[in-house]
């Protein structure tokens, strides 16, 4: 932080003379709402304020500290909740275009009879760009400001994310057989290298390497993916221990469970973001903790596909950073992290028979501060603290479910949902307000989605006739 902003923050802390907007550099001053910071002390200011300059938070606290402050723009936020931008730690955004085409079936049937053959026929650059932008619209409108993604033609996903104003950790998928954008894993690795080079300096896009899973990638491909991520200092995204079938397959092929296998081949590290982790023994949880792996919990997708229930209470007790994800829009089928928080808290209560596990606050933190830890971005986002980037959401309390407000965590997780999102800011830039997106025309996205849907319907009809299962290229 520069000296001018440091002095400003100190003045705020002391309650002393507050400089005017020109002197302080305050661009945005949000006042009057209940500020839920998700900081290390879990501070809540009711009413509170948030001050932003040069895309960063330069002040946050009780409203009285902001009484004499002036800014280039003041946002009156009475009767709202002011939250950190939510973080969706696992997505396949382009798959929003296939939402609802195949539901209520087992994972392997869903993959091999629908997703694999449909993707092989349909997924191209246009599909990925518009599908990602459609997902971005849904995420932004429900308060998500950052997400981690694994898919194909990820450079087109990056273009969509950059246009939307969101943040994205975007992983170019490497898989052990022909995929929509690469005939071989080696070609996919080359694509990943190009993608990393082209997007590594973008302020909101973090390119990543994304080997699909231990059961779809050979040891050589996993090692090459790891080495590329280390060389380029990039995140490493992977599906891990999602189903019992995966565990059984790895045991048969290697004599080891998936987490042990990845640990023994030197794959696990702090750069790894592991999605699902439904089947993890106590010993494997210790391996994840020791390696510094971030885990992303996907409760609704795991429930819908009957994959199982991840041992999240044990992982939280071990101190593993556990974030929250929706998974792709075809296996959830919505991207509202408010609903995901609610499901996370309630699922583990009923599964363990203990109503005290995974509290509302813990579920909220999984979508904010702990979610940022899980994806390695906690130094920049995930909480409302001075010198962090100003990613925040203003959530209306105008509906009946928001009153009375005794416990903000309870209201956020158990009573409210993304329909109450009024405004969304990323790095101090407003990207959404009252149904309007600043970076793109939503009507244009819907027109493109409708055009692509016509192609999808034709392919789905053909796939249903053939019940084909020999084109493995899916993500979820």
**For 47-51, 99-103, 285-289, which range has the lowest pLDDT when averaged over its residues?**
99-103
- pLDDT of 345 > 50? The answer is yes
Summarize pLDDT for 221-244 with one digit per residue, the tens: 999 999 999 999 999 999 999 999
- pLDDT of 2 > 60? The answer is no
Task: Tell me phi and psi for residue 266, to 5 degrees.
Answer: 75, 25
Confidence category of residue 24, pLDDT binned at 50, 70, 90: low
Can you tell me the mean pLDDT for 399-403?
Answer: 96
- pLDDT of 11 > 60? The answer is no
- pLDDT of 120 > 90? The answer is no
Looking from the CA of 411 toward its CB, the CA atoms found within 13 Å total 21
Q: What angle do CA 249, 253, 257 make, to 5 degrees?
A: 60
Q: Count CB neighbours of 443 within 10 A.
A: 8
The helix-helix angle for 154-164 and 125-141 (nearest 10°) equals 40
Look at residue 115 in the predicted model and tell me its pLDDT: 81
Residue with tokens 């009711």: 46
Summarize pLDDT for 148-185 with one digit per residue, the tens: 999 999 999 999 999 999 999 999 999 999 999 999 99
Q: How far, rounded to the nearest angstrom, does the alpha carbon of residue 290 sit from its chain's CA centroid?
A: 23
Whole-angstrom distance, CA of residue 54 vs CA of residue 267? 38
pTM above 0.85, yes or no: yes
Query: Cα separations (Å) of 333 from 101, 107, 245, 250?
Result: 11, 14, 23, 29
Reduce the secondary structure of the chain to three states and give it as a string.
Answer: CCHHHHHHHHHHHHCCCCCCHHHHCCCEEEECCEEECCCCCCCEECCEEEEEECCEEEEEEEHHHHCCCCCCEEEECCCEEEEECEEEEEECHHHHHHCCCCCCCCHHHHHHHHHHHHHHHHCCHHHHHHHHHHHHHHHHHCCEEEEEEEECCHHHHHHHHHHHCCEEEEEEEECCCCECCECCHHHHHHHHHHHHHHHCCCCCEEEEEEECCCCCCCHHHHHHHHHHHHHHCCCEEEEECCCHHHHHHHHHHHCCCHHHHHHHCCCCCCCEEEEECCCCCHHHHHHHHHHCCEEEECHHHHHHCCCCCCCHHHHHHHCCCEEECCCCCCCCCCCCHHHHHHHHHHHHHHHHCCCCCCCHHHHHHHCCHHHHHHCCCCCCCCCCCCCCECCEEEEECCCHHHCCCCCHHHHHHHHCCHHHEEEEEECCEEEEECCEECCCCHHHHHHHHHHHHHHHHHHHHHHHHHCCCCCCCCCC
Q: Report percent pLDDT > 70 for the chain.
A: 92
Confidence category of residue 8, pLDDT binned at 50, 70, 90: very low
Question: Strand 56-62 to strand 48-53: parallel, antiparallel, or no bridges (unpaired)?
Answer: antiparallel
- pLDDT of 476 > 80? The answer is no
């Amino acid at each position: 932080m520069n000296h001018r902003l440091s002095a400003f923050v100190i003045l705020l802390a002391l309650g002393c003379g507050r400089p005017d907007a020109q002197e302080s550099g305050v661009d945005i001053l949000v006042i009057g709402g209940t500020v839920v910071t998700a900081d290390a002390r879990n501070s809540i200011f009711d009413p509170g304020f948030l001050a932003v300059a040069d895309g960063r938070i330069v002040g946050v606290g009780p409203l009285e500290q902001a009484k004499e402050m002036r800014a280039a723009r003041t946002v009156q936020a009475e009767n709202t909740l002011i939250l950190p931008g939510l973080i969706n730690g696992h997505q396949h955004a382009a798959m929003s275009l296939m939402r609802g085409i195949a539901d209520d079936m087992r994972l392997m049937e869903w993959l091999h009879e629908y997703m694999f053959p449909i993707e092989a026929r349909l997924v191209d650059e246009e599909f990925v760009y518009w599908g990602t932008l459609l997902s971005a619209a849904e995420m932004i409108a429900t308060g998500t400001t950052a997400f981690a993604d694994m898919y194909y033609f990820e450079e087109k996903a990056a273009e969509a994310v950059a246009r939307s104003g969101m943040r994205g950790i975007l992983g170019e998928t490497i898989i052990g057989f022909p995929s929509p954008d690469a005939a071989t894993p080696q070609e996919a690795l080359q694509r990943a290298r190009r993608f990393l080079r082209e997007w590594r300096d973008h302020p909101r896009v973090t390119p990543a390497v994304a080997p699909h899973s231990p059961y779809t990638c050979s040891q050589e491909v996993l090692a090459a993916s790891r080495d590329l991520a280390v060389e380029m200092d990039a995140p490493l995204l992977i599906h891990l221990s999602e189903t019992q079938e995966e565990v059984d397959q790895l045991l048969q092929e290697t004599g080891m469970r998936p987490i042990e296998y990845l640990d023994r081949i030197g794959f696990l590290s702090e750069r790894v973001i592991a999605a699902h982790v439904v089947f993890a023994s106590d010993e494997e949880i210790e391996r994840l903790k020791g390696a510094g792996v971030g885990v992303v919990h996907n409760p609704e997708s795991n429930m819908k596909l009957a994959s199982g229930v991840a041992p999240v209470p044990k992982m939280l007790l071990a101190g593993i950073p556990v974030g929250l994800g929706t998974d792709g829009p075809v296996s959830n089928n919505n991207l509202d992290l408010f609903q995901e928080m609610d499901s996370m808290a309630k699922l583990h209560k009923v599964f363990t028979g203990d109503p005290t596990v995974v509290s509302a606050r813990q579920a909220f933190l999984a979508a904010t501060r702990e979610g940022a830890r899980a994806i390695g971005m906690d130094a920049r986002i995930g909480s409302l603290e001075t010198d962090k980037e100003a990613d925040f959401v203003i959530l209306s309390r105008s509906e009946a479910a928001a009153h009375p407000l005794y416990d903000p965590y309870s209201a956020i997780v158990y009573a409210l949902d993304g329909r109450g999102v009024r405004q969304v800011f990323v790095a101090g830039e407003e990207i959404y307000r009252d149904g309007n997106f600043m970076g793109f025309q939503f009507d244009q996205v819907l027109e493109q989605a409708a055009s692509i849907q016509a192609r999808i319907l034709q392919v789905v009809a053909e796939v249903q006739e053939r019940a084909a299962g020999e084109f493995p290229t899916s993500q979820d």
